[in-house]
Amino acid sequence: MKWLLLILALPTENAAARMRAWRALKGAGAASLRDGVYLLPQSDAQTAAFAEVARDLDESGGQAWLVTTEVLDYPFAALFDRTEEYHQIAVDIQEGLAALEGNAATDIARLARKLRKNLTSLTAIDFFPGESQRQVQAQLDELDRRIQARQSPGEPTPKETAITPLDAADYQGRRWATRQRPWVDRVASAWLIHRFIDRQARFLWLTAPADCPADALGFDFDGATFTHTGEGQKTRVSFETLMASFGLEGDAALNKLAELVHFLDVGGLPVAEAAGLETLLAGMRASLADDDALLAAASQAFDFLYTHYLNTGEIPAIGVGKD
C-alpha cells in the first residue's frame, strides 16, 4: 500500500498559519508520526488535501515536503483506528434515546442531525472501516426511527412495489386522504398534490387509516395508494413516490425539495434548510389546530422554498399547475 508523508517546518511567527495547518490536517484525518510529520493513505483526495496544506505553509513563511512511499510490513493502518471516536458518537446516541421520552422530539431531532453530520464527517476519514462504523450507523438509524415514531405516529412501512406512471389528467377533482395532524411528508405531499397534480384536490384528515373512504386516494399510511416505497437507501418517502408516479422527477426544484422532505422524514444526507423548515412547521402545527389551516400555512412555506430552488436550479420546472 502506498502512503503520503507530509513533512512540515511550521512558521514560528505566524500563529494563524500554524492553526490553519492543524485544522486542515485534523479535517483530512491525518495521523501524526512525530512533530511535523503526518501520514495519510494515498489517494487523489488525500494528495490534494496535503498539497493544499503545503501550499499554504509555503506562502506563509513555512516549508513543506510531500513524499509518496510504499511500506509493506509496518502496521500504519492502526494509526487510523477510529474506534474511540465512534464510541463517543454511540454514547451521544444512547443519551439521545434516553432523553427522547422526556423531551420534545424536535429537540432530539436536532441532536440527531448534529450526530448524523458528525458521523458523516467521521466516515469520510475512516480509511479502514470496520464493525464500529456499521454499529454506530445502525444505532443512529434507530434513533431517527424512534424520533419519527414520536413526531409522526403510524409512519408507513415501505412496500416493495414498482411505481406505475400515471397521468395527472386522470386525477382531477379527487378526494385525497391522509392521517390527521400532518407532519413533514404528509403536509409536503398534500402541497405537491394541490400544486402539481390536482388543483381541485380536496383533503380528508383521518383519525385512523381504516377511516379512509373507498373513493379517496390515500397517501402516507400503510395500505395507501401512495406511500413509502423501496428498501434501505433506495426508500422513497410518499412525496418522492408521488413525484415518480406523476412524472415530476425532471423538475430540479422539486428534486431539491424531495431531498429536504426525505431527510426530515426518514433521515439520510443532511440538507442545509432542514432545521429551519422543521422549526417553522413545528410552530405552525402548535399554533393551528385545524389541519386545513395548517396545510394553507405550510403551503406558503413550500411555495417560497420551491421558488428559491427554482431560481437557483439548472433545469426548467415541469408539472401540472406550474405558474
Residues 285 and 295: their CA atoms lie apart, in Å, by 9
34's grid cell: 512525530
Cell numbers found for residue 139: 444505532
Calculate the CA 185 to chain-centre distance.
14
DSSP state of 197: I
d(CA 58, CA 62): 5
Per-residue pLDDT at 11: 84
Structure confidence at residue 207 (pLDDT): 92
Residue 227, pLDDT score: 93
Q: CA-CA distances (angstroms) from residue 319 to 140, 160, 196, 242, 315?
A: 36, 26, 5, 12, 13
The rounded distance, in Å, linking the Cα atoms of 51 and 232 is 37
Q: Dihedral of CA 29/35/41/43: which sign?
A: positive
The string of DSSP codes covering 29-78 is: TPEEEETTEEEEE--HHHHHHHHHHHHHHHHTT-EEEEEEEE-SSS-GGG
> Chunked in runs of 10, what are the mean pLDDT values of the chain (323 residues)?
91 89 94 93 94 93 91 82 95 90 76 90 93 92 80 70 91 96 95 97 94 95 91 83 96 94 84 88 93 97 94 51 38
**Rounded to an integer, what distance in angstroms lies between the CA atom of residue 301 and that of residue 295?**
10
Picking from 227, 109, 242, 147, the residue whose alpha carbon sits closest to that of residue 179 is 227
Write out the three cell numbers for 230.
423501496
Q: What is the pLDDT of residue 321?
A: 39
